[in-house]
Amino acid sequence: MKKSILLVVLLTLVAFVSGAIAAAPPKAAGTAPAPAAPASTKPAKLDKFTGEVKSVDAMAKSIMAVKGKEEKTFVTDDKTKITKGKEALKFEDLKAGMNVVIEYKKDGDKNIAATIKASAPKAAPKKK
């Protein structure tokens, strides 16, 4: 009698365990969980340079700006926005001597201008 009760209990236990395993969602074989999305999707932080245009290279579509003893060369691309006040400018409108504020990103050893805000140079004070 004890053997029959033990057998029934074991069979019931096996039935419950196999039912629980069958109800579990199937795991995909050989697939790793998807990588988490990047923490932030903000655009890369832009650096800022304020100075005066020293030279403009129309062939390379680059400008050299200077502030004190510091000189930097910036290249432009199709996405570069060039403005003077509220007016949009073309690359050809940039001239040596203009004051500029350039927001740029570094790409290796290149400085790629995202925005160039130009203004006319300040007039020297008149002497009496």
The verdict on residue 30 lying in a domain is no
Three-state DSSP class for residue 78: coil
Which helix (DSSP H) or strand (DSSP E) does residue 82 occupy?
A: strand 81-84
The verdict on residue 28 lying in a domain is no
Q: Cα separation of 101 and 52, whole Å?
A: 9
Give the mean pLDDT of the chain.
Answer: 81
Structural domains in the chain (count): 1
The verdict on residue 34 lying in a domain is no
The verdict on residue 10 lying in a domain is no
The verdict on residue 19 lying in a domain is no
Whether residue 9 is predicted with pLDDT greater than 60 in this model: the reply is yes
Interval 66-82: pLDDT, tens: 999 999 999 999 999 99
Residue 54 belongs to domain with CATH number: 2.40.50.320
Which helix (DSSP H) or strand (DSSP E) does residue 3 occupy?
A: helix 2-23
At 15, the pLDDT band (50, 70, 90 cuts) reads confident
